[in-house]
Amino acid sequence: MANDLNTYLSSKTIFDKISDMTRIVDPVKKQVINYKDNEGVISSKPCFDFWEKNKICDNCISMRAYNDDTTYVKLEYKGEKTYMITAVPYDLPDRRVVVEILKDITNSMFLDSGVGSGTEVTGVHALIDAMNKLAFVDALTGLYNRRYILEKLPVDLVNATLSSQNVSLIMADIDHFKNVNDTYGHMAGDHTLKVVAETLSSCLKRGSDWAARFGGEEFLICMPGSDLEMASSMAEIMRQALEKQVIRYEDKEFGLTCSFGVYCTSSPETEHPEEMIKSADEKLYLAKKNGRNRVEY
């Protein structure tokens, strides 16, 4: 199967005209795989190193292609060059990989908005950043969205396995949020979600930690490398910060509380992201059942 893939990648066809570079990646482990003599050799550099931004790509379409088993396309840039990337999932006998087809379109890009080859490079790249951000950021709160959770959490679990560390999840839910909408209106409810998001984010001090809107009035906080004690302490800090928060919207003032569920895995190599989320959600349900405005772990 690997030889078939090599033949596909090395064939001299019209494919050469639509690709400047083709590589095979494992987007979960962030590895580039070079096949020779039917054997996969892992590159010493991670796949995101090519973009020279010194960080994992937030909007990783190869991860999306891997998860959804379908092809995705996006624009990205490196230095002053702009690339079109096509990510194609491909199942080998022992794993799924993604074939990334990269094409330099710096001098052949035309956009109806008027942004194209005649525009300053920084303007094009700002547009690409904005489009990529739309893919993984919740429009209302500015936190990461659910798609980001499903793409980033598996990567954090792999990294935790390699470094023999834990991964902790915190699930937070606003108590009686329906009452806010019913009493003060849905615009006040939207404002409340923004305040909660800002408060949760302000509590996080480590660069590896991240927060996302899971859905509705529920939020997820991921803390790679933290144990249960550290994560539950953070949840308590967040709970107290929100309990002290005064929500001001137009001429209205009101308070709120949140309930928290915390889960930590000590064996990330055996964990599945959805199971971790379910475990944290079960702790959150317990916090609700035991009176709300509390942390359960």
List the alpha helices (DSSP H) in 37-173.
61-68, 121-136, 146-162
The one-letter code for the residue type at 126 is A
Distance of CA 173 to the CA centre of its chain: 20
- 170: nearest Cα among 253, 97, 60, 261: 261
Residue 210 and residue 197: Cα distance in Å, rounded? 11
Is residue 269 part of the annotated active site? The answer reads no
Residue 170 and residue 234: Cα distance in Å, rounded? 9
Task: Tell me if 107 sits within 8 A of 23, measured CB to CB.
Answer: no
Catalytic pick among 151, 217, 218, 271: 217
Q: Look up residue 60 and give its DSSP letter.
A: -
SS3 of residue 59 by DSSP: coil
Q: At what angle do helices 146-162 and 61-68 cross, to 10 degrees?
A: 100
Task: Tell me if 137 sits within 8 A of 58, measured CB to CB.
Answer: no
Residue 95 and residue 202: Cα distance in Å, rounded? 39
- 214: nearest Cα among 292, 142, 135, 149: 149
Active site residues per annotation: 217
